[in-house]
Structure 1
Amino acid sequence: MIEDRGNEKNLAIGSVIYLKDTLKKVMIISKKMVREFEGEPVYIDYTGCLYPEGLITNDILVFNQEDISSIIFRGYEDEDEIELAKRMAKWENKASVKKLSKEEFRLKITEESQKKAGKKYEL
């Protein structure tokens, strides 16, 4: 049995949670996703999909630790996961990469998509 979970802010992939603004369960599918928007790297704590449906469309949920209202199930945690959680916590404490709120992140993705669509259809 592994007792030390590292930083509790880093939930394992496969964890199932409730977000503050939804009644559906969400499963975490990635952590600390870094994207570059207009040359500036930014990150969000987690991406997820609806549970039990899974990723059935291109719609991926983005959210931060503070958006989680409760943890239903913790994903698999072994020595590798614990070590990764510790490294992610250290990275987050000294990273020069800006953390965005889920609303800011969604807006940036929408703006990026609109720019790409606009270029695609320019005459």
Structure 2
Amino acid sequence: ASLARLVGYKLHPDEAPDSYDISDALLGKSKKGRNVMLEEAFTLALRSGDWKYIDPQRIATPVWEKAKKIETGLKSYPQLYNLKNDIGEQVNIADSNQKQVKEMKQLLQNIEQNATRAGYKKLN
């Protein structure tokens, strides 16, 4: 929604359901942005404060991705990182921080289930 507004593109009512317009913050007109950052790449990840939660991979890794022979970081289990202490996301602390995993997974599910963009309408 932010980039659409910045370039003057009018989003169709069923586009960008999880998008949130923070263009005023990007332009320095407001100090208020979004409290979390959502990432999608074969699964969903959520950044909130120092925490990054990566949901288990939802689809099989495509052949072309496997052919790169590069570690994707996508796993079949939840991942949780404290980026203040582990900016490189090397140590998965999900097992020892189940409360944080549960909270972030719930927040991610809420974002998925409830559109956040003003004016969004799911079309059937």
TM-score range, shorter chain: under 0.3
Q: Scaled by the length of structure 1, what TM-score is found?
A: 0.26
- The structure in which a higher percent of residues are helix is 1
- The structure in which a higher percent of residues are strand is 1
